[in-house]
Chain A
Amino acid sequence: MSPDVIDGFAQASQLSTVLSVAFGCLIGLIVGMIPGLTISTGIIIVLPLTFVLEPDISIALLLGLYVSGMTGGSFSAILLNIPGTPSASATAMDGHPMAKKGDAGRALGIAIIASFFGGLVSFLCLFFIAPVLADVALRFKSPDLFSLVFFGLTIICSFAAKSLIKGLLSAVIGLVIVTIGQDPMMGTARFTFDQVNLISGISFLTALIGLFAIPQLVDNLSEIIKGKTASEAGAKIKKVIPNLSDLRLMKIPIGIGSFVGSFLGILPGAGGPIAAFISYDYTRKLSKIPDEFGKGSTEGIAAPESANNAVTGGALIPMMTLGIPGDPVTAILIGALLIHGLAPGPLLFMENGDFAYGIIFSFFWANIFNIIIALISLRFLVKVLVIPKAILMPTIAILCVIGSYALRNNFFDVYVMFGFGLLGLAMRWLDMPIVPLLLAMVLGRQLEEHLRVSLISSQNDITIFFTSPFSLFFLCLAGISIFWSLWAERQNTKKSQKKLI
Chain B
Amino acid sequence: MNKRNFFASIILIVLCGCYAYFTANLETRNIQNTTQPSFFPWIITGCLAILSFSLLLQSLLTTKRQTLKKKPAPRDLIIIGFLISLAYLLLLPVLGFLGGNILFFAGLSRIYGEKNILKICLFSVIISIFIFYLFRNVFQIQLPIGILGGVLT
Contacts and interface: CB of A to CB of B under 8 A. Distances in A.
Interface of A: 48-49, 51-52, 163, 165-166, 168-169, 172-173, 175-176, 179, 183, 185-186, 188-191, 217-224, 388-391, 393-395, 397-399, 401-402, 405-406, 409, 411, 414-415, 418, 429-432, 448, 451-452, 455-456, 459-460, 496, 500
Interface of B: 4-5, 7-8, 12, 15, 19, 22, 26-27, 29, 31, 33-35, 37-41, 43-44, 47-48, 51-52, 54-55, 58, 64, 66, 70-74, 77-78, 81, 85, 89, 92-93, 97, 101, 104-105, 108-114, 120, 123-124, 127-128, 131, 135, 139-143
Contact of A221 (B43, B77, B143): B77
B74 A432 contact: no
Given A397-B104, A398-B105, A218 B81 contact: yes
10 contacts: A169-B52, A175-B47, A186-B29, A186-B31, A390-B110, A398-B131, A409-B142, A414-B89, A431-B66, A460-B33
Nearest to A398: B101
Contact of B131 (A224, A395, A448, A500): A395
Contacts of B33: 456, 459-460
A257 B71 CA distance: 32
Contact of B89 (A166, A415, A459): A415
Given A176-B44, A188-B29, A430 B5 contact: yes
Contacts of A183: 37
Contact of B112 (A48, A173, A220, A429): A220
A172 B131 contact: no
Nearest to A448: B40
A488 to B, nearest CB: 16
A390 B127 CA distance: 12
A179 B101 CA distance: 33
B8 A430 contact: yes
A166 B114 CA distance: 38
A414 B144 CA distance: 13
A218 B73 contact: yes
A394 B48 contact: no
Contact of B51 (A172, A220, A415): A172
Contact of A188 (B37, B89, B131, B139): B37
B58 A165 contact: yes
A394 B105 contact: yes
